[in-house]
């Protein structure tokens, strides 16, 4: 009896394992169990861990990026205003710890510096793309580690890209279109018309339509506020129609009526940042922070990072199935990639060896040639030296001959001289003798 019961329950569980879902029955609970607290547990855990949110502000220098961030988060983030003299585009990233009620937020604001300031703007999008990819790569590396600490990892992937459009009232600049096109598969782009107090109400409506149609005709995918969740579908649907938001930034508080409000004051009047009749700042804050912050984080992970990860792993040779549609084993992929790598390494080694041998041969030939030239030069010099030597010897010989002849002549001359002086000497002696004997003899 017991064995029967056991075999029955085993079959049931087999049935469940083999056909998931089919063997599942809904059973009523007789009393409170407590797993309805799971969402609360999740919330508590998330709150204790804290959240992180990363915003990238892309736009020309002076369009009000820093001011808008200060306005959005109701604080003054430090930072010097950027100059227009940057030789290229750079990204400046700052992370801040913010606290609201009991929720902690690690906020990273990345801003383009020097964007739109160069004469040649062809490559201006590149540093931005590289930055976004670098954050994906860092996350992927962390995921691929054997010992992962993802819960403590500071996720630097960009969750939202606020693209600042200049309030020209004309159309998008080609720099904007190119940049947005390059970024749209990597990040959630929210286009905004910056400094919208510079554009009139009627122009603004036309400008928004123009921008939207240009984005569509160029196939630029901007972030759409999600409408699949019923609780936010209506507001998000309405807000999607207001894109791109026309915003104004200001940290200056002015007394309007009996309230202090963020505003910009002009000689002809005051524009209120948080007045929906004046600009879309409130809409942006509502959509970016209060309603869709989690969706932006989620989309970043499930869409943009997933795409990066997939492309990267495929590039590295990983696949889900092999050509026969069988699941691809990680081990096999690793082996295949390793063999491919070793093969390439061997090929490279062989190429380098060949190159080395070739270079040695060339050097040898060069040295031989130099040696030959040296020998020839030596022979030439030797011959020259011998000729010189012979000439000198000949000259010496002729000089020796001359010296000998001279000596002979000299000896002969001396002999002659001595003979003649002898003869002269005996006559003088004779005369002296005669003078002695006869002092009166005059010799002169």
Ligand X SMILES: Nc1nc2c(ncn2[C@@H]2O[C@H](COP(=O)(O)OP(=O)(O)O)[C@@H](O)[C@H]2O)c(=O)[nH]1
Which stretches of the chain bind ligand X, using CB under 6 A? 59, 61-67, 81-82, 195, 197-198, 248-249, 264
Measured from the CB of residue 143, what is the shortest distance to ligand X in angstroms? Answer: 34
**Position closest to ligand X via CB:** 64
Measured from the CB of residue 38, what is the shortest distance to ligand X in angstroms? Answer: 44
Q: In whole angstroms, what is the distance from residue 33 CA to residue 381 CA?
A: 111
Region binding Mg ion by CB under 5 A among candidate stretches 16-24, 63-71, 351-359, 368-376: 63-71
- C-alpha pair distances (Å), 138 with each of 30, 52, 309, 313, 317: 50, 16, 11, 14, 19
3-state secondary structure of 366: helix
Q: Which does 249 bind (CB under 5 to 8 A by kind): ligand X, Mg ion, none?
A: ligand X
Please identify, using beta-carbon distances, which residue of 187 and 273 lies nearer to ligand X: 273
Please identify, using beta-carbon distances, which residue of 54 and 66 lies nearer to Mg ion: 66
Q: Which does 62 bind (CB under 5 to 8 A by kind): Mg ion, ligand X, none?
A: ligand X
Measured from the CB of residue 173, what is the shortest distance to ligand X in angstroms? Answer: 15
Q: Which does 124 bind (CB under 5 to 8 A by kind): Mg ion, ligand X, none?
A: none
Per residue, the 3-state secondary structure of 280-332, as one string, reads CHHHHHHHHHHHCHHHHHHHHHHHHHHHHHHHHHHHCCCCCECCCCCECCHHH
Please identify, using beta-carbon distances, which residue of 67 and 108 lies nearer to ligand X: 67
Nearest to 187 by CA among 45, 299, 329, 295: 299
Measured from the CB of residue 220, what is the shortest distance to ligand X in angstroms? Answer: 21
3-state secondary structure of 39: helix
Cβ atoms of 223 and 303 closer than 8 Å:
no
Please identify, using beta-carbon distances, which residue of 52 and 109 lies nearer to Mg ion: 109
Is position 66 an interface residue for Mg ion (rule: CB under 5 A)? yes
Is position 112 an interface residue for Mg ion (rule: CB under 5 A)? no
Please identify, using beta-carbon distances, which residue of 155 and 158 lies nearer to ligand X: 158
Q: Which does 67 bind (CB under 5 to 8 A by kind): Mg ion, ligand X, none?
A: ligand X
Please identify, using beta-carbon distances, which residue of 61 and 300 lies nearer to ligand X: 61
Q: What angle do CA 205, 206, 209 make, to 5 degrees?
A: 90
Measured from the CB of residue 281, what is the shortest distance to ligand X in angstroms? Answer: 9
Nearest to 109 by CA among 67, 154, 57: 57
**DSSP string covering 93-122, please?**
EEEEEEEETTEEEEEEEEEEESTT-SS--T
Is position 71 an interface residue for Mg ion (rule: CB under 5 A)? no
3-state secondary structure of 57: strand
Region binding Mg ion by CB under 5 A among candidate stretches 14-22, 31-39, 64-72, 214-222: 64-72
> If you ran DSSP here, which 8-state letter would residue 81 be given?
P
Measured from the CB of residue 111, what is the shortest distance to Mg ion in angstroms? Answer: 6
Region binding Mg ion by CB under 5 A among candidate stretches 40-48, 58-66, 206-214, 291-299: 58-66
Nearest to 63 by CA among 215, 261, 196: 196
- Per the structure block, which two tokens stand in for 15? 């049935």
Please identify, using beta-carbon distances, which residue of 192 and 291 lies nearer to ligand X: 192
Please identify, using beta-carbon distances, which residue of 67 and 188 lies nearer to ligand X: 67
Nearest to 248 by CA among 264, 261, 259, 260: 264
**Residues found near Mg ion in the complex (CB under 5 A):** 65-66
């Amino acid at each position: 009896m017991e064995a029967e019961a056991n075999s029955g329950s085993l079959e049931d569980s087999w049935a469940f394992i083999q056909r998931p879902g089919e063997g599942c029955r809904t059973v009523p609970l007789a009393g409170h169990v407590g797993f309805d607290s799971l969402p609360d547990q999740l919330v508590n855990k998330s709150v204790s861990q804290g959240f992180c949110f990363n915003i990238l502000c892309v736009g020309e220098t002076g369009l009000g990026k820093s001011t808008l961030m200060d306005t959005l988060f109701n604080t003054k983030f430090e930072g010097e205003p950027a100059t227009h003299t940057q030789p290229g585009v750079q990204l400046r990233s700052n992370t801040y710890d913010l606290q609201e009620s009991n929720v902690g937020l690690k906020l990273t604001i990345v801003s383009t510096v020097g964007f739109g300031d160069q004469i040649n703007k062809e490559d201006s999008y590149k540093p931005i793309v590289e930055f976004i990819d670098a954050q994906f790569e860092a996350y992927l590396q962390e995921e691929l580690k054997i010992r992962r600490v993802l819960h403590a990892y500071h996720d630097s992937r960009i969750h939202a890209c606020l693209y600042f459009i200049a309030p020209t009232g004309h159309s998008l600049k080609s720099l904007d279109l190119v940049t947005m096109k390059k970024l749209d598969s990597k990040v959630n782009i929210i286009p905004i018309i910056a400094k919208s107090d510079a554009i009139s109400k009627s122009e603004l409506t036309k400008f928004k339509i123009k921008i939207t149609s240009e984005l569509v005709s160029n196939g630029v995918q901007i972030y759409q506020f999600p409408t699949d969740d019923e609780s936010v579908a209506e507001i998000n649907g309405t807000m999607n129609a207001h894109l791109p938001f026309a915003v104004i930034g200001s940290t200056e508080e002015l007394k309007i009526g009996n309230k202090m409000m963020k505003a910009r004051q002009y000689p002809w009047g005051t524009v209120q940042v948080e007045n929906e009749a004046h600009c879309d700042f409130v809409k942006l804050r509502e959509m970016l922070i209060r309603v869709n912050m989690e969706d932006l984080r989620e989309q970043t992970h499930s869409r943009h990072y997933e795409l990066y990860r997939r492309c990267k792993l495929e590039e590295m040779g990983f696949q889900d199935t092999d050509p026969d549609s069988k699941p691809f084993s990680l081990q096999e992929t690793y082996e295949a990639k390793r063999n491919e790598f070793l093969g390439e390494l061997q090929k490279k080694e062989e190429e380098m060896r060949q190159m080395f041998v070739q270079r040695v041969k060339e050097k040898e030939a060069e040295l031989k040639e130099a040696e030959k030239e040296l020998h020839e030069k030596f022979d030439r010099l030797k011959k020259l030296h011998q000729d010189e030597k012979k000439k000198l010897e000949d000259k010496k010989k002729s000089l020796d001959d001359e010296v000998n002849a001279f000596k002979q002549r000299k000896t002969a001359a001396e002999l002659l001289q001595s003979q003649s002086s002898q003869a002269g000497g005996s006559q003088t002696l004779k005369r002296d003798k005669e003078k002695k004997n006869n002092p009166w003899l005059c010799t002169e």
